[in-house]
Amino acid sequence: MKVSKNLITYIILILISAFFLLPVIWIVLSSFKAGTSLYKWPPELIPSQPSIENYIIAFKKGNFGLFFYNSFMVTILSTMVTLVINTMAGFALAKYKFKGRDLLLIGFISTLMIPLEVIMIPIFQVITKLNLYNTFVGIIVPPAATPTGLFLMRQYLLSVPDELLEAARIDGASEWRIFVKLILPISKPVLSVLTIFSFMWRWNDFLWPLIVISTPEKYTVQLAISNFVGQYNVDWNGLLAISVITMIPVLIVFLIFQKQFVKGMVTSGLKG
Amino acid sequence: MEHRIKQKKRKINIQRALAPYLFVFPNFIIFFIFVVIPAAYGLYFSFTNYDGLSEEEFVGIANYVKLFSDSDFWDTMLRTAIYSGIVVPTIYVLALGIAILLIKEIRFKGIFRAIIYWPTMISFIVVGVTWKWIFGDTFGIINYLMELGGQKGIPWLSESFYATLVVIVATLWSRIGFFMVIFISGLQSIPSEFYEAADIDGAKKWQMFTRITLPLLKPTSVMVIMLAIIDSFKAYPLIVSLTGGGPGRATTYLVQYIYRFGFEKNQLGYASAMSVILFLIILITTTIQFKVNKGGEI
């Protein structure tokens, strides 16, 4: 009875997993079919002559080396800013009593309800007035202050005992020193969570670059792909190769920080 | 000597009083410049005829009046609502169902979870590309499989009904994993004593689900549904690369419609009025979640 019951569970789970896994496998396999073999009918399930030609062409002709460089730079810088400023603000909101704190907290929560989709038209005006149009700063700094990141940090730091901070103060540590030497190390697990999320958000982001960036030399990968796929005659050879590469960085970051990530999920009380 | 200690103490006190403001400052200033100010501007624009170039004129509620009689806008709203109405319940049922399977004592749990979660880490643009390739009219694997099964291939992306279907499938594929994780932690927070007690009382599996799991899962459920609704009304990047909003306008939803008026037709005032409507949808959904869950506790 028990075995047969679990058997059904396994079969269902395998079918579901197939739905989630096969699309990725299919574009990976397709990306190794060079030239016209990609358009063969009936399609070859496994490429008979696997080749990395598509990848080479995409980087040579499609200028994707530059787009990857842009994406990496924007993602890494923005994530660094996110980690520092959200930890600072989370620390202040969790561990200090000061005038206006609750008001600030409510204000920050409310910004969750104003996603970029709602303000994309006026934000364009603001970005232009600040001379940030078509600059990397324009896609690095504004999205770095994320309400989600702020709350993640605040919830986690609420659990830091006040005695710890008092002890450091009695030892003569300044507030900034407490932040750098005490709070940052304590936050390591939750910082991993935020690193994964921020990296993923910024790497995958489409709307910010779409609104802020105009010249192709400053395209991020996502923006470049969306342009690529919008053309009348889609060059699938290059497109598939680039799409496959684009998935890899987030996966690597996830694998690096995964252990800490799981720890952070448990201890920060972040449910989901 | 005593004087100097006092002075130092005061300096420390000032530093301590000032510290939180300095710590909050970078976040605050970014939120203020890039959220608060644009939001205020957007609201103001919605009462003007701003076109991005010439000086705007105040037109009162003219944009909103126009909006109410704009049948294209309401068609778009209807399409968005239908898309949302299909996607949200499907996500709810499938994500919860998968989560229930994956909290059982089974082997390879971690691998199954990872496989289902993995598509949520792929950008919407690439998700769109992936499904466009799979459902391609002429080279798509799905049409090949249909031919193998003796069926005729379907022009998936050039017929409204099928294009909508493909957009929905791609959305489910890219979002279910995220909500599954939320459900898993929600399910795990239900104390096992409840189930043990029900088991002793001879409750059936289905009864346990409807009498214990669902009621205790309500806060999580509400959160999932509200997040999924907001997500569906923000849908745009996936559609850009999958269908471009077509064929015709069959898969053009609210955000793309706003984008078109704001950035292509230069009717910024009018587009801002639509943005206000989008904000109201998000506001109402969030408020409902907050009220039902009494403070947004997960």
Which site among B15, B31, B287 would you substitute to test the A interface, given the most A Cβ atoms closer than 10 Å to its Cβ?
A: B31
> What is the model's pLDDT at position A179?
94
**Bigger pLDDT: A136 or A48?**
A136
Chain B hits for A30, CB-CB cut-off 8 Å, are 133
Selected residue of A78, A117, A239, A261 to mutate for chain B interface (largest B Cβ count, 10 A)? A117
Do B141 and A89 count as a contact with CB atoms less than 8 A apart? no
Reported as a pLDDT band with limits 50, 70 and 90, residue A262 is low
Nearest residue of B to residue A204, measured between CA atoms: B123
User: Given an 8 Å threshold on Cβ–Cβ distance, is A225 in contact with B234?
Assistant: no
Angstroms from B167 CA to nearest CA on chain A: 14
pLDDT digit string, tens, across residues B42-82 = 999 999 999 888 888 899 899 999 999 999 999 999 999 99
Residue percentage of chain A with pLDDT more than 70:
93
pLDDT at B5: 75
Q: What is the percent of chain B with per-residue pLDDT over 70, rounded to a whole number?
A: 98
Here the tokens at position B56 are 């705007």
pLDDT at A1 over 70: no
More confident residue, A78 or A58: A78
CB contact under 8 A, A92 and B38: no
Q: From the candidates B5, B24, B253, which should be mutated to test the interface with A, based on the most A CB atoms within 10 A?
A: B24
Which residues in chain B are contacts of A179 at CB distance < 8 A? Answer: 23
Shortest alpha-carbon distance between residue B48 and chain A (Å): 13
Interface test with A, best of B126, B176, B182, B298 (most A CBs within 10 A): B126
Contact A50, A204 (CB under 8 A): no
pTM: 0.90
Average pLDDT, chain B: 91
Say if the Cβ atoms of B27 and A145 lie within 8 Å.
yes
Are A112 and B35 in contact (CB < 8 Å)? Answer: no
C-alpha radius of gyration, chain B, whole number: 26
Q: What is the pLDDT of residue A264?
A: 54
Segment B240-283, tens digit of pLDDT: 999 999 898 999 999 999 999 999 999 999 999 999 999 999 99
Q: Which of A113, A144, A226 sits opposite B241 (nearest CB)?
A: A226
**Residues in chain B closer than 8 A to A104 (CB atoms):** 24, 28
Kindly report, residue by residue over B79-114, the tens digit of the pLDDT.
Answer: 999 999 999 999 999 999 999 999 888 888 888 998
Q: What is the DSSP letter of A79?
A: H
- Inspect the interface and report whether the beta carbons of A113 and B132 lie closer than 8 Å: no
**Which pLDDT belongs to residue A51?**
87
- Examine residue A42 and say whether the peptide bond preceding it is cis (omega within 30 degrees of 0): yes
Give me the pLDDT at residue B298, please.
Answer: 41
A36 Cβ partners below 8 Å, 6+ apart? none
DSSP string for residues in chain B: -HHHHHHHHHHHHHHHHHHHHHHHHHHHHHHIIIIIHHHHHHHHHTTB---SSSPP-B-TTHHHHHHHH-HHHHHHHHHHHHHHHHHHHHHHHHHHHHHHHTTSS-TTHHHHHHHHHGGGGS-HHHHHHHHHHHT-TTT-HHHHHHHHTTPPP--GGGSHHHHHHHHHHHHHHHHHHHHHHHHHHHHHTS-HHHHHHHHHTT--HHHHIIIIIHHHTHHHHHHHHHHHHHHHHT--HHHHHHTTT-STTTT--HHHHHHIIIIIS--HHHHHHHHHHHHHHHHHHHHHHHHHTTTT--
For residue A265, list chain B residues with Cβ-Cβ distance below 8 A: 185
Per-residue pLDDT at B295 exceeds 80: no
**Closest A-chain CA to B25:** A89
* Confidence at A58, pLDDT banded by 50, 70, 90: confident
Return the residue of A nearest to B33 by Cα: A126
The answer to whether the Cβ–Cβ distance between B19 and A12 falls below 8 Å is no
Average of pLDDT values for A189-194? Answer: 89
Q: Residue B251 contacts by C-beta under 8 Å, 6 or more apart in sequence?
A: B79, B83, B160, B163, B164, B167, B239, B242, B243, B245
pLDDT digits (tens, 9 = 90+) for B201-217: 888 888 889 999 999 99
DSSP A218: G
> Do the beta carbons of residue A67 and residue A228 sit within 8 Å?
no
Nearest CA in chain B to A21: B115
- Which percentage of chain A shows pLDDT scores above 90? 65
Of A20, A101, A272, the CB nearest to B118: A20
How far apart CA B98 and CA B112 sit, in angstroms, is: 10
